Structure 1
């Protein structure tokens, strides 16, 4: 076992869904920003990065979200609530993203133009439901990455899909292209999380 794997495995096994947070603990905006920047190393479909974030630290705003979040206590007591928003029209960023990769030396000009043109032919013409599914899938990837980063830094998290997404979108005046997908409570645990078991591998995996 390599040292890197040992550290990663420890973080994975230590991360639990915490719902009881220390309401007096604060996390600096700069530290949350650093975690988000690192989390964006997650992969995404055609590298379109269809994720946006709303970081809620204001207590009054957290209480408003709690009202349409089934009164989950962590929405009130966590240091911050990070809303992961899916961009169903991420194709508007194709030129910026591929030009940036070209300028960074990650691809030659021919590859940049080919990949950008392929993406432009595919994504704007895809049905809305397909684009929403892509955004939701990619939101799952970056959410898990963010939670592991938080745990490695000594913080606790819990992801929540149970909230009124329509009310959330209205409260934050989201354009129709943006869909709230996940809320992540971030903070310091006030009490240990419950343990949880997993189904045995032979029940969930088939090798052929």
Structure 2
């Protein structure tokens, strides 16, 4: 099991065709069990995923990357049975948690940006004065909602990053949410499970890809 908050390494992207990465992405439920993904590459994919936007740059996410037998045993304890094929065969399963106390590090984040010369002191003070009080006094429901939006943006970006690295993925929400954080020794009052993402090589290219039809754009879009 690998817990990642931030990390950067340099791994080659094998597919830089954005339209192919996005439009030909499909969920895969059975992966090649013989394929292992190095932790350095998993770290790189997470680093790419967290370039996603977040509410007020709060970055209210936490990633637990499960790539070991012991880690998968923990997932089995709360995953629903119909999601076991992905769990058993994936090279890694990334549990994404919303961090409802991310604002506690907010001041440090902007101080570092100032120290690195990215922003002026005036801009730092403006941001902290505008946004930090909102989160410090926010109801739990707002903290949960904001963190889930942040994590969802990062999750989609992670699936695209995985495909750019030559892998496929499958988003998973079928599990006992109450057991997710405790399974990895995380505080369930702070960390809210958003989704899991299984990552690996398909057992056979073109096989076991879950395809689905889409509603016509005109049925789901309006101009105003």
Give me the TM-score of the superposition, normalised by structure 2. 0.86
Gaps of 5+ in 2: 1-15
Distance 2:182 2:167 in 1: 30
CA contact (8 A) 1:63 1:75 kept: no
The equivalent of 2:129 in structure 1 is: 117
Decide whether the 8 Å contact of 2:74 with 2:184 is kept in 1. no
Matches of 2:73 and 2:80, distance apart in 1: 11
2-side partners of 1:36 and 1:105: how far apart? 25
Tell me if 1:25 matches 2:38.
no
**Number of equivalenced pairs:** 203
Give CA-to-partner distance per residue, 1:102-153, whole Å, 9 cap, x none. Answer: 2333321101011012222100111101110000011100000011011011
Counterparts of residues 47-196 of structure 1 (less than 5 Å):
47-71=57-81, 72=83, 73-175=85-187, 176-191=189-204, 192=207, 193-196=209-212
Structure 1 regions of 5+ residues with no counterpart? 1-5
User: Residues 56-106 of structure 1, C-alpha deviation per residue, up to 9 Å, x if partnerless?
Assistant: 111232133134211211011100011111100111011111112223333
SS in structure 2 opposite 1:107?
Answer: coil
1:186 CA drift (Å): 0.7
Segments ≥4 residues shifted beyond 6 Å: none
Could you tell me the TM-score, scaled by structure 1's length? 0.93
2: distance between equivalents of 1:188 and 1:101? 38
Q: Distance in 2 between matches of 1:105 and 1:197?
A: 48
Matches within 5 A, 1:3-14: 7-14=17-24
